[in-house]
Structure 1
Amino acid sequence: MTDEKILTFVVPAYNMQGYVKRCVRTLLSPEHLDDIEVIVVDDGSTDSTLEVAQALEAQYPDVVRAIHQENKGHGGAVNTGIANARGMYIKIVDADDWIGAEALEEVLTVLRAQKDSDDPLDMIVTNYVYDKVGKRHKHVVDYKNVMEPDKRIGWDDLGRFGIAQYLLMHSITFRTQVVRDSGMKLPEHTFYVDFIYAYVPFPWVKSIMYIDTPLYHYFIGREGQSVQTDVMIRRVDQLYRVNNCMLEATPEPDEVPRGLYRYMIHFLSIETSITSVFLILSRKRENYARQKELWARIDKYSPIIGHDARRQIPAMAINMPGPQGRWCVRVGYKVADQIMGFN
């Protein structure tokens, strides 16, 4: 075995004894494992997650590492994985999700070609699948309308993202040094930090390649999952906190390439709209006021960013006034959920 790892998978795991083995097995599917490592970060689980991870480490001692820490939440577990990663590239895979074997081989071919490059790719983008329990048709999120596959590109080469289309943790593989150079530290004991992970490092990304393959399978259907509608309503304060982290990482238009600024405003507007949706779905009068405050805070932070974020279609839709506007938001969310199956 070699210590030169091309790819580190970080698997944050809290009380995932029934899922973590399935996840890790998919990460071990490649024919050659000598340049891959899997770091399972047990985040203070109270079940046997750590024991399962340690058993996998014993079985694959040069590939799998089990790290135990006191509970710090998803963000704290990802931070630990980043700090301990030895791979040139890094991919976060939640313990209840998994990776497609054929797609992984495609990605590894590209990553291994970067090993001896003087100017390696900073970010790989791949497709992901909403793997919802009981849903026959699995919705695949791809980026063919935005990026030409298998070509090295920069931010100014991107096409226009769709109204509700954006890059998520599931679709991104970063060069590890890019993440470290960005100085990103995810907030602890906070859900939905994957929005931050797929946002803060972007000004440090100079080169991108899109591989049109369904790498990540996003499992939906576990009881108590953080993306269930009722759970997101209860945790809307955490969406609010994530939004603030993203806002503080948003550059002014003259600080980054035009294509990057355009995309970051697009994504900021979407995340702010998502937070607004769950404030509205709560049906609490005080949250209706908070929804207005959310957008006012962006205006105060930067009038330019506020102006540009409000001009995005999701922002205009979410800010329709009065009870009729809130009714449209609730109906629109229900229809989108039926079509996409994201909750």
Structure 2
Amino acid sequence: MKVLTIAIPCYNSASYMHRAIESLLIGSDDIEILIINDGSKDNTSQIADEYEKKYPNIIRAIHKENGGHGDAVNTGLKHATGIYYKVLDSDDWFDKNSFIKVLDVLRGMINNSQLVDMVIANYVYEKLSIGKSTSINYKGAMPEEKIFTWDDIGFLKISQNILMHSVIYRTEVLRSCNLELPKHTFYVDNIFVFKPLPYVKTMFYLNVDLYRYFIGREDQSVNEKIMIGRIDQQIRVTKVMIDSYNPMLIESKKLRKYMTQYLTMMMTISTVLLLKSNTEENLNKKEELWDYLRTTNENLYEEVNKTILGKLMQIDTSIGRKIILSGYSLSRQIFGFN
């Protein structure tokens, strides 16, 4: 059995997938790289097959009909033989030195029969067009290089949300929660992280900048204009998260607080994008989304409404909208996203 499976969902990724794959080739046979060709129309398929032929003990090329990013992640999970599972988007890459350290830690856990449910490492926003890199770490919030539980976690700032870029799940945790991401939907990485959290009992944090998250392609899903154009998918993902979480069923107060914070962030993103579009249709969608939370998950709505962001996002005045949008612009400048 492999130590770690890395799934690389690829759709028309021929021009940049090499960097992602090459960043994983560190001479270790106990990793498994699954190149998931999601019905690409360019020569992604050929490139994947060439890598499999060159590295048959490490790389498998899996070809499937187009189902979107989430369906490619599902396919990777179905085929994974690694004890741990990680997703690497085809336009991103790993820092090799950090990857070596992460693998050493995973091997040590396996050898000592001390498997944890979730391993966390830093990620870096790589905005190459302006030469800016921003590392997102969890210093001060998580104990470093020791096994811990939710009760050991300190205050997680909004910038310290646990994202797909930072998380490595034990494969059986993902399978035990029946994780199944929706097809043909963007932003499902939030479901990937969020839904398994109640199944996570033990964690381990490495303060290394492993995942390099590329920002800058015009067709990128986190491009603001594209996000507004795909706002219905953002809302769909947020509703799936609402439906999957009842705070009253979570014993750990810190986990409950964190999951509520995460859901509040998702509501905030949808609200901001709907306000920025400033169409009557989208302003109505904002009201509908908050009504959905209020009517389908009353306990969760009450928890979200206790937060400053939760209250702020529901202010339906011109001044309130200006405050929301100004805060969003400032966050973009500080953290360098999209």
| Both proteins in one fold, TM over 0.5 | yes
- Say whether residues 1:14 and 2:16 are aligned partners: no
Residues 216-249 of structure 1, C-alpha deviation per residue, up to 9 Å, x if partnerless?
0000111210000000000000000000111111
Residues 167-208 of structure 1, C-alpha deviation per residue, up to 9 Å, x if partnerless?
100000000011000101000000000000010111111100
Aligned pairs (5 A) from 1:115-134: 115-134=110-129
Contact 1:203 1:256 in 2 (8 A): no
Range with greater deviation from structure 2 (188-197 or 139-148): 139-148
Partner of 1:315, secondary structure, is helix
Contact 1:163 1:313 in 2 (8 A): no
2:211 maps to a residue whose letter is Y
1:157 maps to a residue whose letter is D
Query: Displacement of 1:276 after TM fit?
Result: 0.8
CA distance in 2, matches of 1:46, 1:137: 32
Aligned-residue sequence identity (percent) comes to: 39
- Say whether residues 1:155 and 2:150 are aligned partners: yes
Q: Which residue of 1 aligns with 2:327?
A: 332
Q: Which residue of 2 aligns with 1:5?
A: 2
2:5 maps to a residue whose letter is T
Query: Displacement of 1:34 after TM fit?
Result: 1.3
TM-score (norm 1): 0.95
Aligned pairs (5 A) from 1:162-173: 162-173=157-168
Q: How many pairs align?
A: 338
Query: Displacement of 1:151 after TM fit?
Result: 1.3
1:291 maps to a residue whose letter is K
CA distance in 2, matches of 1:316, 1:14: 39
Among 175, 178, 193, which residue is 1:180 paired with?
175
CA distance in 1, matches of 2:329, 2:263: 22
- Say whether residues 1:66 and 2:61 are aligned partners: yes
2:50 maps to a residue whose letter is A
Q: Which residue of 2 aligns with 1:223?
A: 218
Query: Displacement of 1:303 after TM fit?
Result: 2.1
CA distance in 2, matches of 1:321, 1:255: 32
Query: Displacement of 1:117 after TM fit?
Result: 4.0
- Say whether residues 1:262 and 2:250 are aligned partners: no
Partner of 1:114, secondary structure, is helix
1:78 maps to a residue whose letter is V
2:329 maps to a residue whose letter is K
Query: Displacement of 1:329 after TM fit?
Result: 2.1
Residues 4-51 of structure 1, C-alpha deviation per residue, up to 9 Å, x if partnerless?
2000000000000011111000011x24x2101100000000001111
- Say whether residues 1:55 and 2:50 are aligned partners: yes
Q: Which residue of 2 aligns with 1:25?
A: 22
1:149 maps to a residue whose letter is E
Q: Which residue of 1 aligns with 2:269?
A: 274
Contact 1:21 1:53 in 2 (8 A): no
Q: Which residue of 2 aligns with 1:208?
A: 203
C-alpha RMSD over aligned residues: 1.3
Range with greater deviation from structure 2 (115-124 or 76-85): 115-124
Partner of 1:16, secondary structure, is coil
CA distance in 1, matches of 2:221, 2:181: 17
Partner of 1:231, secondary structure, is helix
- Say whether residues 1:314 and 2:319 are aligned partners: no
Contact 1:42 1:50 in 2 (8 A): yes
CA distance in 2, matches of 1:256, 1:185: 24
Residue segments in structure 2 that go unaligned for 5+ positions in a row: none
Residues 53-74 of structure 1, C-alpha deviation per residue, up to 9 Å, x if partnerless?
1111111011011000000000
CA distance in 1, matches of 2:289, 2:114: 40
Query: Displacement of 1:150 after TM fit?
Result: 0.5
- Say whether residues 1:141 and 2:129 are aligned partners: no
